[in-house]
C-alpha cells in the first residue's frame, strides 16, 4: 500500500511543460530514495478559490496525485523543494496508512432505560 500521497496542484500550462514539471518532481523523489508507485491525473479544473503563489494569482490548475513509499526524514526537505518550484501552486503530502477496518460502524447504542437518572451537567 502507498505510504505517502502527494497532491500536487500545478499551474495551468501546456502539456509539454506539465510533463517537464512532473518529470522533475518524480526525479527529485527518486534521487532522495523514494519508490514511486503511481501517478494519477485528476484533470485540469478551476481552483475552488484564487491562490496567489510566486507573484501570480492562479484561477485554474492541474491536479495530480502521486503515490510513493519513502523514509519520513526526507519529507520536510522535499516539501521545501516543492515550495520553491515556480510551477507548483500547492503541494500537500499525506500519509496513506490503511485504517483498521471498522466492523461495528454506526451500530446504534442500546437505548437507556427511562428509569435511568439523567447525568448531572
Partner 1 sequence: MLAIRKFRFIHHLLCKNAARYNTTDRGVRGLYDRSAEISRSNDDMPISMENPYKEEPKGCILCNVTVDHKNVQLLSQFVSPHTGCIYGRHITGLCGRKQREVSKAIKKAHHMGFMSVTLKDPSFMKDPNICHIKHME
Burial class of residue 4, CB neighbours in 10 A (0-12, 13-18, 19+)? buried
# chain residues binding partner 1, by CB under 8 A: 19
Residues in the chain, overall count:
121
- Is 5 in contact with 67 (CB distance < 8 Å)? yes
The binding track of 11-50 with respect to partner 1, each residue x by CB under 8 A or -, is -------------------------------x----xxx-
- Interaction between residue 108 and partner 1 (CB under 8 A): yes
- Is 40 in contact with 50 (CB distance < 8 Å)? no
- Interaction between residue 100 and partner 1 (CB under 8 A): no
- Interaction between residue 101 and partner 1 (CB under 8 A): no
- According to CB under 8 A, which residues from 78 to 97 bind partner 1? 89-90, 92, 94
In the bound complex, what is the minimum distance in angstroms from residue 59's beta carbon to partner 1? 12
- Is 75 in contact with 84 (CB distance < 8 Å)? no
Amino acid at each position: 500500500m502507498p505510504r505517502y500521497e502527494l497532491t500536487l496542484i500545478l499551474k495551468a500550462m501546456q502539456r509539454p511543460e506539465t510533463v517537464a514539471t512532473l518529470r522533475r518532481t518524480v526525479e527529485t523523489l527518486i534521487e532522495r530514495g523514494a519508490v514511486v508507485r503511481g501517478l494519477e491525473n485528476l484533470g485540469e479544473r478551476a481552483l475552488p478559490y484564487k491562490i496567489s503563489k510566486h507573484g501570480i494569482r492562479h484561477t485554474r490548475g492541474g491536479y495530480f496525485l502521486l503515490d510513493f513509499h519513502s523514509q519520513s526524514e526526507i519529507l520536510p526537505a522535499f516539501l521545501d523543494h516543492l515550495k520553491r518550484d515556480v510551477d507548483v501552486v500547492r503541494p500537500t503530502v499525506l500519509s496513506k496508512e490503511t485504517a483498521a477496518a471498522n466492523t461495528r460502524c454506526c451500530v446504534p447504542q442500546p437505548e437507556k432505560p427511562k428509569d435511568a437518572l439523567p447525568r448531572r451537567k
